[in-house]
Amino acid sequence: MRNGLVYLAAYGTLMQGEANPLPPWVQRLMHRQGPCRIPGRLYAIGPGRRYPGLVLPADPGDECVLGDLYLIGRREAEAKQVLRVLDQYEEFDPLHPRGSEFVRQRVMLKEPHLAAWVYLFNSNPEAKRFSRITTGNWKRYRP
């Protein structure tokens, strides 16, 4: 949150131009601000490696993932409604985060320098033998 505003950094299927089943009212409340750089490592996960998962490295260094920065809604109530829908889409249960495939966490972005919500993969992708996307760019990798 910056000046009471709620931001989301998306790095995969929530990015502009990607196909996702979000309702039109949610899409209207997601105002793209431009590109962003998220600290972390990107992996191709899921059945057939069809969607990405981001994990925060122990030492962020220069590792980053390319994404889109969104302003969510114009009021807090709108942001909460949108985040509830996004939580369902990302299979994040705030009441049971350990059992969720993704967790929503506030992360300080590398560019622009602000905190935004990010959905992080909630498991060790290397233990599951998921492929690392070394470019950090889902759109370039996408099968």
Look up the CATH number of the domain holding residue 98: 3.10.490.10
**pLDDT value of residue 1:** 45
The residue with tokens 């350990």 is 98
* Cα(68)–Cα(82) distance, integer angstroms: 16
Give the model confidence (pLDDT) of 72-117 as tens digits.
Answer: 998 989 999 999 999 999 999 999 999 999 999 999 999 999 999 9
Beta strands in 18-128 (DSSP E): 30-39, 41-45, 51-55, 64-72, 102-108, 115-121
Judge whether 29 and 82 are in contact, CB under 8 Å: yes
Closest to 46 measured CA to CA, from 131, 141, 120, 137 = 131
Whole-number Cα distances in Å, 135 to 23, 37, 140: 30, 12, 8
The reply to whether 86 falls in a domain is yes
Domain that holds residue 115: 7-141
Instruction: Report the predicted TM-score, pTM, of the whole model to 2 decimal places.
Output: 0.93
Average the pLDDT over 62-71 and give the result.
94
Whether the pLDDT of residue 62 is over 90: the answer is no
Alpha helices, DSSP H, located in the chain: 24-29, 76-89, 138-141
Judge whether 76 and 55 are in contact, CB under 8 Å: no
Please give the residue that has the higher pLDDT: either 5 or 59: 5
Average the pLDDT over 52-56 and give the result.
96
The number of domains in the chain is: 1
Judge whether 74 and 45 are in contact, CB under 8 Å: no
Give the model confidence (pLDDT) of 6-17 as tens digits.
Answer: 999 999 999 999
Whether the pLDDT of residue 2 is over 70: the answer is no
The reply to whether 1 falls in a domain is no
